[in-house]
């Protein structure tokens, strides 16, 4: 292939991987962020456009990425917020009737740098052994601004990268203004945008008028909108960096039903007195087995998170779901107020739909709380 530019990926521990530049070129020629891996076999566009990856460089473990191109319908946000992408091999040709452009063009258009030709098996094994860590990559030589990119400058950038712990990434991805979806629906839901995915909004808009609000919106502001329920969205980074969100949630508990996903799950747990732990390399993929404790059913789930609720850290809620790979708390339900959450992604996008019933659970919770059981029954078909 003509025009190939040699590039390096350097991790903060000094480990070096050789490859070739893809997509856009980062300002100054160097892209830096926390390096994580994702195990999905498809859905690369949804992964790359998920705002929960803000501050991170995404490594795809599947070796062949981009073969079916991209389409605007599959974007999960208005633009990607990830710092970059690492692949073994980027497809030279797209082949799918839905595609409108190839992945390399999409990356360049959105300003997302990439590096290909990387031994992603070796990289993944390294992250599994040592944990997610900062890294930096870029094409070797002179960058457009005159900066020289070499192994030493990449190592310096990787070492200087703070990662995601202790950084408020939510403020970088949340909406600046509130907006509404799904008019003429029986329920009214206020959805906090901590980095909300489009697929989640499509699920909610199927039964509710959804008012999406910025992450900093106060409880008083939300209650003044008179919602039937409040949704806490997914989002990037460390829940400890958004205490304003925890304060708002505490003001909502007991006043209105609450449902949270991913970061929203961690924030609800924190509001209920729980604590949060950072996982060594997180859960990123579309095939994580989760046991639903009420009946023992195992669901295959889509996941994307680096932090998790500490087991046994809260008395105000019971655990409802558990990850079968490592025992991580996957779901909670409050004991005294109408509120529940899950760590995994029931909306999928990409991934299996085993957990989509949780949106029906939310509708039933709102119906019970507001004396609208008949409405909830019509939406869910009465399924338990």
**Which tokens hold the place of 378?**
């019509």
Q: Say how far apart CA 268 and CA 373 lie, in whole Å.
A: 25
The separation between the first and the last C-alpha atoms of the chain, rounded to the nearest angstrom, is 55
What does the DSSP assignment read for 81-132? --SEEE-SEE-SS---TT-SB-HHHHHHHTT-EEEES--HHHHHHHHHHH--
Q: Which of 25, 76, 330, 347 is catalytic?
A: 347
3-state secondary structure of 175: coil
For residue 363, report the phi and psi dihedrals to the nearest 5 degrees: -60, -40
Q: Say how far apart CA 308 and CA 34 lie, in whole Å.
A: 17
**Which tokens hold the place of 277?**
């732990």
Q: Say how far apart CA 33 and CA 158 lie, in whole Å.
A: 8
Cα atoms in the 13 Å half-sphere on the side-chain side of 109: 12
Are 164 and 55 in contact by the 8 Å Cβ rule? The answer is yes
Q: Which of 228, 284, 321, 345 is catalytic?
A: 345
Q: Which residue has the tokens 């030709």?
A: 117
Q: Which of 262, 283, 284, 305 is catalytic?
A: 262
3-state secondary structure of 229: strand
Residue 262 falls in the annotated catalytic set: yes
3-state secondary structure of 372: coil
Burial class of 105 by CB neighbour count within 10 A (0 to 12, 13 to 18, 19+): middle
Handedness of CA 55, 124, 118, 140 (dihedral sign): positive
Secondary structure percentages of the chain, helix, strand, coil, to 5? 25, 30, 40
Residue 347 falls in the annotated catalytic set: yes
Q: Say how far apart CA 22 and CA 103 lie, in whole Å.
A: 10
Residues labelled as active-site residues: 262, 345, 347
């Amino acid at each position: 292939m003509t025009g190939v530019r040699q590039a390096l990926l350097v991790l903060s521990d000094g480990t070096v991987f050789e490859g070739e530049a893809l997509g856009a070129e980062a300002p100054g020629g160097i892209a830096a962020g926390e390096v994580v891996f994702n195990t999905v076999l498809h859905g690369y566009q949804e992964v790359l456009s998920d705002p929960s990856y803000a501050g991170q460089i995404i490594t795809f473990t599947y070796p062949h990425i981009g073969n079916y191109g991209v389409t605007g319908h599959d974007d999960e946000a208005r633009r990607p917020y990830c710092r970059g992408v690492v692949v073994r091999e980027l497809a030279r040709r797209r082949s799918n009737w839905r595609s409108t452009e190839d992945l390399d063009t999409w990356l360049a258009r959105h300003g997302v740098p990439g590096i290909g030709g990387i031994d992603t098996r070796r990289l993944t094994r390294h992250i599994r052994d040592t944990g997610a860590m900062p890294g930096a990559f870029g094409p070797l030589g002179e960058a457009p601004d005159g900066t020289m990119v070499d192994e030493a400058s990449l190592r310096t950038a990787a070492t200087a990268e703070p990662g995601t712990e202790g950084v408020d990434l939510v403020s970088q991805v949340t909406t600046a203004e509130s907006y509404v979806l799904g008019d003429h629906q029986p329920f009214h839901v206020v959805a906090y945008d901590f980095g909300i995915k489009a697929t989640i909004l499509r699920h909610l808009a199927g039964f509710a008028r959804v008012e999406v609000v910025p992450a900093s919106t106060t409880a008083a502001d939300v209650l003044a909108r008179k919602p039937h329920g409040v949704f806490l969205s997914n989002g990037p980074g460390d829940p400890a960096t958004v205490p304003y969100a925890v304060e708002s949630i505490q003001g909502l508990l007991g006043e209105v039903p609450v449902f949270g996903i991913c970061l929203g799950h961690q924030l609800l747990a924190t509001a209920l007195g729980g604590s949060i732990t950072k996982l060594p390399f997180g859960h990123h993929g579309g095939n994580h087995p989760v046991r639903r404790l009420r009946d023992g059913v195992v669901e295959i789930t889509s996941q994307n998170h680096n932090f998790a609720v500490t087991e046994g850290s809260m008395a105000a809620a019971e655990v409802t779901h558990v990850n079968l790979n490592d025992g991580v708390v996957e779901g909670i339900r409050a004991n005294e107020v109408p509120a529940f959450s899950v760590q995994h992604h029931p909306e999928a996008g990409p991934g299996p739909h085993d957990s989509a019933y949780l949106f029906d659970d939310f509708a039933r919770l709102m119906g019970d709380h507001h004396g609208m059981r008949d409405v909830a029954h019509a939406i869910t078909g009465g399924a338990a």
